[in-house]
Amino acid sequence: MPDSNHIIIAGAGLAGLTAAYDLQQQGFTTTILEASDSIGGRVKTIRQPFDNGLYAEAGAMAITSADTALLGLLKKLDLNLISLKQRIDNARYRAANQWHDINEPCSARILPDNLKQCSVSGLLRHYIDAARLEHLKPDTNCFNLNDELLALDELSLADFLRREGASECEIYLIANFSSAALLGDGIEHLSALQYLMRCGHKRDVDNFFAVENGNDNIITCLLQQLDSAPLTETPLIKVTQTKDGICAQAKTAEGEIIEIEGAALLCTLPLPVLKQVEFTPELNSDKSAVIAELADSYTSVSRVYFQCSPAHRQQGLKSAQSVIDRPSMIIEDHTNHLSDISMDVLEIHTIGDPARAVANMTLDEQVEKGSLILEEILPGITADKKTGIAVCWDKQPFHHGAYLSFRPGGMKHLPVLARPENNIYFAGEHVSMLPGSLEGAVRSANEAVSRLIADITS
């Protein structure tokens, strides 16, 4: 008979480790199963092959001042934050070979005269009414979607903007040059509700942060707090619900099948992987259908990094994040918060369909292609190909995609996705009103643990 105080956790990303930490605080013991040989999942800082202690984020980069659950956790872990304020102050975009400040009037040739005085971010603000955002703040993950929210979910962000009176010309600008250009497969394919929830969450944001010396320090510090280390290279493959609890089967690196028993399972696996796990008895059919449908809604992201000289700061690129006139592509400057550097790390960040196309290339080919694009955008930059490195989230065997972006009509499935099945509980960024964020991962873990403890102790 399994120990009623022992919980099995699948996945050692931020949600899994936060859940383990919360459970330990409440007197539970855990076994954490992790498929990869490393811990942290989509919190991944790369330090090799860069020189002089430089690093870049391959997963989550920015934390906002609205991320209260995450900031609370970081405070408990005593982690120092650095400010990335440049991201909001100086964001730039390049159109028709010219650099523009995101807050300056648009001078793009495609705009009719009456719109040239609008900025790209101003266009978005104009159509997204601040008063409406007040009650779209996802304060909890209770997933109570009323009729108004369900109606917003059925719309794409582009259709929402059309409904609010935006012209096709404005939609083109927003789709290609605003922060919305960085989400999912573009604004025609993104649930309006997801975007508005995100805006509601960030409504009062006055600063962006990252953890000093790399976001992977969140993972290192969480691990230091845990009594037992995750079992790496041990993917969960089968879950059997027994009369008294759960029996989880996992495969070790040596090919051995091990069985672990617990009172409950808390599962944080990304949906494209979760759909491959065998459940006995099977999950309810509505749950399986939702997992299968949403598993196809993951955003593709490919990132290619180069160590190069900071001379580009004299050119057009002055901000941490610049939208460029290449479809679904931005340049990230990973050292923008540092003022005095001799070397810099620049990244070509590709999203959506163009990232899916890149996934068919070898990593070397991605580096080659990235260096050509960088040279074209910043002539004379001479990206150092020896220190070029590519990370393609579609190719990560335990993710098969970067993060969930709800398509129109997708968020209505959240109550089913989050619903526990007997003693199996679900968490992770995808079980959240703020998908694709650290805050969503932490909130989902906090809430799954509260539910689990309430059920077990009732």
Ligand X SMILES: Cc1cc2nc3c(=O)[nH]c(=O)nc-3n(C[C@H](O)[C@H](O)[C@H](O)COP(=O)(O)OP(=O)(O)OC[C@H]3O[C@@H](n4cnc5c(N)ncnc54)[C@H](O)[C@@H]3O)c2cc1C
Q: Could you list the residues that contact ligand X (CB under 6 A)? A: 10-16, 33-36, 41-43, 59-62, 235-236, 268-270, 273, 301, 393, 398-399, 402-403, 428-429, 436-441
Closest CA relative to residue 211, chosen from 30, 55, 431: 55
> What does residue 208 show for φ and ψ, rounded to 5 degrees?
-115, 145
Which residue(s) pair with 298 in the sheet? 404
Taking the complex as a whole, the smallest distance from the CB of residue 428 to ligand X amounts, in Å, to 3
Taking the complex as a whole, the smallest distance from the CB of residue 99 to ligand X amounts, in Å, to 23
Q: Judged by CB, which is closer to ligand X: 143, or 393?
A: 393
Q: Distance between CA atoms of 236 and 257, rounded to whole angstroms?
A: 10
Residue with tokens 């001042």, as numbered in its chain: 65
Q: Judged by CB, which is closer to ligand X: 119, or 321?
A: 321
Q: Distance between CA atoms of 219 and 70, rounded to whole angstroms?
A: 12
Sequence-ordered alpha helix ranges (H) in 314-435: 353-358, 363-377, 414-418
Taking the complex as a whole, the smallest distance from the CB of residue 340 to ligand X amounts, in Å, to 25
Q: Distance between CA atoms of 450 and 78, rounded to whole angstroms?
A: 23
Q: Distance between CA atoms of 76 and 70, rounded to whole angstroms?
A: 10
Taking the complex as a whole, the smallest distance from the CB of residue 36 to ligand X amounts, in Å, to 4
Taking the complex as a whole, the smallest distance from the CB of residue 206 to ligand X amounts, in Å, to 17
Q: Judged by CB, which is closer to ligand X: 107, or 280?
A: 280
Taking the complex as a whole, the smallest distance from the CB of residue 430 to ligand X amounts, in Å, to 7
- Tokens representing 27 are 């007197």
Contact 137, 149 (CB under 8 A): no
Q: Judged by CB, which is closer to ligand X: 399, or 413?
A: 399
Q: Judged by CB, which is closer to ligand X: 161, or 448?
A: 448
Contact 264, 3 (CB under 8 A): no
Q: Distance between CA atoms of 17 and 9, rounded to whole angstroms?
A: 9
Q: Distance between CA atoms of 44 and 347, rounded to whole angstroms?
A: 15
CA 396 to chain centre: 14
Taking the complex as a whole, the smallest distance from the CB of residue 7 to ligand X amounts, in Å, to 15
Q: Judged by CB, which is closer to ligand X: 171, or 241?
A: 241
Q: Judged by CB, which is closer to ligand X: 408, or 440?
A: 440
